[in-house]
Homo-oligomer: A and B are copies of this chain.
Amino acid sequence: MKTVVVRNIPRGPKDAIEALGKAGVATVHEAMGRSGLLAPYMRPIYAGAAIAGSAVTVLVAPGDNWMLHVAVEQCQAGDVLVVGVMCDNTDGMIGDLISTSLQARGVLGVVIDAGCRDVRTLTEMGFPIWSRAISARGTVKATLGNVNLPVVCAGALVNPGDAIIADDDGVVVVPRAEIAKVAELARLRTEKEDKSRPRYAAGELALDVAGMRAGLEGAGLVYVDSADDL
C-alpha cells in the first residue's frame, strides 16, 4: 500500500456534475448502463439530503481517522470526501469538528464506508454524510493510508475526480471522463420519464406503453381466470 498524498487532481465539468445531481442517483445509475452504485448499506444520516460533487478519495485504517485530517487539506469547494477503509469497520471516524473544517472549505458532504457520529449536530449544520453506520466509537491516529489514489468504497471503485451523486436512494460514482456524456443521457432519460409519468397517472399500463405483452407471451406466460384453472 502506498502511503502517499496526491495534491493535484483533475475534476470534472461543474455544469454537468450539477446536472447529474438534478437527475438523481437512480437516473444516473440507469444512464450509465446500470453501473456505479455503492452498496445499499450506505445511508444518509438525514432524509432529503442530496449532493453532487467531485471525489477526493482517502483510504484509512479501521478505527483510525488520522488520514481524514490529511484529506481535509486536499479538499476544495464542490468536493465530496470519499472514505474507503482497509476492512469492515463501523467506528465513528468523522464527527462535527472535521465536518466543520470540511464545510468551511465548501465541501458538500462525505461518503464513508464506516461510521459517523454527532449526527444531531451534523443535521443542524446541514452537512450530510452517507455512512454504513452511526457510531460514537472514537478513533486513534496511528496508521497511515493514502489520499487521492483509487479507492474501493462500499464495493465500488472511486477514482479521485470522479463525480459523486448521493441522495435518499444511495450513492453513485461517475468516472470523470464520462461525466458529460452521462449527464446528457440522464437528461434524456428524465425527459422520457417525465413524458410517460402522466400516462401512468392516467391509468395506462407499462405493459402497453412499453409493449411488453408479446415478449411475455413468447417467454411462456399463461393467464388463467381463477385458481381453479391451475
Cβ-based interface call for A6 (8 A) = yes
Return chain B residues, CB-CB under 8 Å to A33: 1, 3
Q: Which of A35, A135, A203, A204 has the most CB of B within 10 A?
A: A135
Task: With A5-B221, A30-B138, A40-B137 given, name 18 new contacts (CB 8 A).
Answer: A3-B219, A3-B221, A4-B223, A25-B136, A29-B137, A29-B138, A63-B63, A63-B64, A70-B212, A70-B216, A118-B169, A119-B169, A120-B167, A134-B170, A136-B169, A150-B157, A155-B155, A157-B157
Contact (Cβ within 8 A) A152 B155 = yes
Residue of B nearest to A115 (CB): B40
A-B contact pairs, 30 of them (CB 8 A): A3-B219, A3-B222, A4-B224, A6-B229, A7-B225, A25-B136, A26-B92, A26-B117, A26-B118, A29-B137, A30-B138, A34-B138, A37-B136, A40-B134, A40-B135, A43-B134, A47-B123, A48-B120, A63-B89, A66-B212, A86-B137, A87-B135, A100-B201, A101-B203, A101-B205, A120-B168, A140-B142, A141-B215, A149-B230, A155-B155
Return chain B residues, CB-CB under 8 Å to A138: 26, 29-30, 34
Contact (Cβ within 8 A) B40 A206 = no
Return chain B residues, CB-CB under 8 Å to A39: 87-88
Contact (Cβ within 8 A) B227 A6 = yes
Assuming the A-B contacts A26-B118, A33-B1, A89-B62, are A104 and B73 also in contact, with contact meaning beta carbons closer than 8 angstroms in the complex?
no
Cβ-based interface call for A148 (8 A) = yes
Within 8 A of B (CB), among A190-230: 193, 196-197, 200-207, 210, 212, 215-216, 219-227, 229-230
Within 8 A of B (CB), among A111-155: 115, 117-120, 123, 133-138, 140-144, 148-150, 152, 155
Contact (Cβ within 8 A) A34 B86 = yes
